[in-house]
Amino acid sequence: MALTQDRYIVQDCDGDYVASVKAAAMIYAGALIAQDTSGDAAPGSVSTTIRALGIAMEQVDNVLGGAGAKTVRYRKGVFAMKNSAAADEITDAQVDEVCYIVDDETVAKTSGVNTRSVAGKVRWLDTVTGLVHVEVGYVTNVDGDLVAANNLSDVATAATARSNIGANKVCLQFTKRASLDDSSDTLRIVSPVTGTISKIWSVIDGTCTTGDPTLTFSIAGTPITTGVITVAYSGSAAGDIDSCAPSAANTVTAGQIISCAVAANSQAADKYADISLLILT
């Protein structure tokens, strides 16, 4: 039942928490500690399978002990940590964003291309000391073990994440069929997205009798490099699939026209092809 009056508040350990210590681990007071998949605490390190717990309130030497032989008191909250350098240096732009564990006293701006777990959220940056004040112990490891489990790579890089889960793929299909007997036939479609055309397929509806029809693709009037499909008439049959893999001049922006020009090459009448394209965004 929900409260209808004030409640006496009980807080365990006066703000401290306790965790079992990993085998052969040495934890120093003030260290950023993290929990492994077995539930044991150890100094923060580069890994995607750990979860930041907080800051150790005491030194615990378990170098000669097994897992759980000793425990460590730790505290959650906002603590000053060392900053990384170069591309991993945290700036004011990262305030309120997550940062990542480098070691038991250092944090970084990025996951190191899916090699680090989340340390916590950046709350403020001390420009005098260069220390990063990080809220530790409350942030789910959204870019660590979740990423590893779902192959999202670095979710801070949206294009990489979309690519790894297949969300960067857009398939377009020309609504008009290509008349393989008509060299004046040109198909057009407007791209709804910006991306790269990586593959084009055609499928014919019947046997081609004479000559090899070709389908030449362009973006806004510019021919796509290796963007030509040749439909071989010899041995052809309904359902035959041909394709090409564009290698250059294949970047399209939203709103541009993708066209397909047909060269019949003496093909007999009433032969058609359906065409689809794969665009990577």
- Dump the DSSP string for 179-196: ETT-TT-EEEEE-SS-EE
DSSP 165: H
The more confidently predicted of residues 180 and 152 is 180
The model carries a pTM of 0.51
* Residue 164: per-residue pLDDT: 67
Q: Looking at the predicted structure, is the pLDDT value of residue 82 above 60?
A: yes
Q: Which of 34-38, 73-77, 270-274 has the lowest mean pLDDT?
A: 270-274
- Rounded to the nearest integer, the mean pLDDT of the chain is 87
* Residue 203: per-residue pLDDT: 94
Q: Which of 160, 153, 149, 84 is nearest to 115 (CA)?
A: 153
- Dump the DSSP string for 195-264: EEEEEEEEEESS---SS--EEEEEETTEEEEEEEEE---TT--TT-EEEE---BS-EE-TT-EEEEEEE-
For 129-150, how does the pLDDT look when each residue is reduced to its tens digit (9 = 90+)? 999 999 998 765 554 444 444 5
Binning pLDDT at 50, 70 and 90, where does residue 69 land? very high
For 11-29, how does the pLDDT look when each residue is reduced to its tens digit (9 = 90+)? 555 578 999 999 999 999 9
Residue 157 is which amino acid? T
